[in-house]
Amino acid sequence: MRSFAMLAARALLIAAICFAASGSVGSAVAKEQKSLRVGLDYIFELQGNPGTGYVWRLNQGASENLALVKVDDLGYGESASGKKKLLGAPAPYRFRITGVAPGFAKLVFDYLRPWEGKPEKTEELWVRVPE
């Protein structure tokens, strides 16, 4: 069983690595961190524009420890204001992240047109699932 001190040290190490990586020139990766208990879920939103053909996809090859979380693709949703969707207007793209087992998972999401394959941008979500 891991002690709190070990978990805190590991979280600090991950934060230091993220901070060091964020200083790289031309980096198109944004990072976010979330703590989530086993069995609980969190709706992760990324901004996109459904009219352009771009969608967000979980990049399983670039992600780490996917067995610790369950990721459900919920697709584009209503805007935060609840107003009627306008053609060409941005909208949130949602994923439901559920904690499955204790540990740290790195989730990488690519914003791309499925027929092109090359991502326009990438975002990372670090998920900590405590014991």
Evaluate whether residue 32 is within a structural domain. yes
d(CA 61, CA 79): 30
The model's confidence at residue 84, banded by pLDDT at 50, 70 and 90, is low
d(CA 72, CA 93): 12
In a domain, 1, yes or no: no
Work out the average pLDDT over 104-113. 96
Residues in the chain: 131
Domain presence at residue 4: no
Which run of H or E residues covers position 6?
Answer: helix 4-22
Q: Is residue 21 part of a domain?
A: no
Residue 55's SS3 state is strand
* pLDDT above 80: residue 24: no
128 vs 131: CA distance, rounded Å = 10
Domain of 120, in residue numbers = 28-129
pLDDT band at 1 (very low <50, low <70, confident <90, very high): very low
Is residue 29 pLDDT above 60, yes or no? Answer: no
Q: Residue 88 maps to which CATH number?
A: 2.60.40.2020
* pLDDT score of 105: 96
Encode 68-98: b = buried (16+ Cβ within 10 Å), e = exposed.
bbebeeeebeeeeeeeeeeeeeebbbbbebb
Q: Is the pLDDT of residue 2 over 60?
A: no
Q: Is residue 22 part of a domain?
A: no
Band of residue 17 on the pLDDT scale cut at 50, 70, 90: very low
- The whole-angstrom separation of Cα 53 and Cα 120 is 12
The reply to whether 92 falls in a domain is yes
Span 20-30, mean pLDDT? 39
CA geometry: angle at 79 spanning 38 and 95, to 5°? 25
Mean pLDDT, range 80-86, rounded to an integer: 59
Tally of domains in the chain: 1
Residue 19 lies inside a defined structural domain of this protein: no
Do the domain assignments include residue 5?
A: no
Q: What is the pLDDT of residues 53-78, one digit of tens each?
A: 999 999 999 999 999 999 999 999 87
